[in-house]
Amino acid sequence: MQFSGDQKLEAYRRMLRIRRFEEEGARQFKAGKIPGSFHLSVGQEAAIVGACLALRDHDAMTGTHRSHGHPIGKGAHLDALMAELMGKEGGICKGRGGSMHLADRSVGIISESAIVGGGIPLATGCAFSAKVRGDAQVTLCFFGDGAVNQGTFHESLNMASLWKLPVIYFCENNGYAISTSVAQSHGQSNIALRAAGYGMPGVTVDGQDVSAVYEVAAQAVARARAGDGPTLIVADTYRFDEHSFGMVISGPPYRSVDEVERYKRDRDPIALYRVKLLEHGVNESSLAAIEEEVAKAVERAVQFALSSPLPQPDTLPDYMFNSPLEGHYSSIDGPERN
């Protein structure tokens, strides 16, 4: 399956929205406007967008701690996302989720988590729910190479294969779990081979090629929607920045300056795709118009976030608890219960 005409430009737009949003986010973080940690997915935009464009609006998704790009890849608005990063009331989660724990139901994102591999069982449960409900919904589950060694990865893949759940497990293999390379932490460094142990397809794809990612993701989505079960996709990609923006790694460097610069120079997914679009007849003016549009959207998002109020302290407990039994005590325990 290949991009349609409209999808070709939309892929460029969404990758650029991720890149410009995160570059601006880094500036706001340095200015002290974004609290906590800030994990950039700059360099990984093709893997995100290629996978997300294979989905329908109704499909669900889980993310990671490095997940500003995932909602954007699914089509999220930038205003509330930037406000969420700043901890503002106008944010997607009213400032309660922040950079690493946001959710955006408007584009099907049920959760993002700082827990390594934390989204994998949630995505599996979401896919199980769709099967029980008889819904054609597919769930896309993002995680990094470090999560592959978590027990939840193996438990979830086994369950999904056994019950033929409509879920795509999508590993963004950027080569490093913080500063530990795949070669140092995986007895079997070919992550896609692990799928065979659970009776599902395992596919490795160039994560810097948005078209290639879309093709394998679309095949996996079609397979899941047809009732044939899960797929493990491993997108070999690369983060241009440190694990966390501004993070200083003590000790000897775990990757060379030459390695990072080579990826920035030769393997930038946006630059590669821009060249491909021009080679296939897309006008320079069309790309320039998208670039201007994205720049304005990011600028509006920052202004919206800066002008949005902070949550009031007295609202702190408002979203901490939710009882499914609230309002139903009388039917369970009788009218005397208060």
Evaluate whether residue 314 is within a structural domain.
Answer: yes
- The domain tally of the chain equals 1
Rounded CA-CA distance 266/262 in Å is: 6
Contacts of residue 295, defined as CB under 8 A and 6 or more positions apart, other chains included, come to 20
| Average pLDDT score over residue span 75-91 | 96
Q: Which two tokens stand for residue 316?
A: 């702190």
Q: Is the confidence at residue 226, as pLDDT, over 70?
A: yes
| Average pLDDT score over residue span 274-282 | 96
pLDDT in the model for residue 125: 98
| Average pLDDT score over residue span 277-287 | 96
Q: What is the pTM of this model?
A: 0.93
Rounded CA-CA distance 241/247 in Å is: 9
Looking at residue 327, which CATH number applies to its domain?
A: 3.40.50.970
Long-range contacts of 6-11 (CB under 8 A, 24+ apart): 7/53, 7/214, 8/277, 8/280, 8/282, 9/277, 9/282, 9/286, 9/290, 10/53, 11/49, 11/50, 11/53, 11/210, 11/211, 11/214, 11/273
Percent of the chain whose pLDDT exceeds 70: 95
pLDDT in the model for residue 318: 83
Evaluate whether residue 338 is within a structural domain.
Answer: no
| Average pLDDT score over residue span 259-285 | 97
Evaluate whether residue 91 is within a structural domain.
Answer: yes
Q: Residues 192-225: pLDDT tens digits?
A: 999 999 999 999 999 999 999 999 999 999 999 9
In order of 77, 154, 310, the CA distances from 18 in angstroms are 11, 30, 25
Rounded CA-CA distance 199/194 in Å is: 9
pLDDT band at residue 326, thresholds of 50, 70 and 90? low
Evaluate whether residue 292 is within a structural domain.
Answer: yes
Residue tagged 């009213």 (tokens): 94
Evaluate whether residue 16 is within a structural domain.
Answer: yes
- Of 63-67, 71-75, 318-322, the one with minimum mean pLDDT is 318-322
pLDDT band at residue 167, thresholds of 50, 70 and 90? very high
- State which residues form the domain around 265: 5-333
Q: Which two tokens stand for residue 158?
A: 């086994």
Higher local confidence (pLDDT), 332 or 47? 47
Evaluate whether residue 87 is within a structural domain.
Answer: yes
Residue tagged 């976030």 (tokens): 305
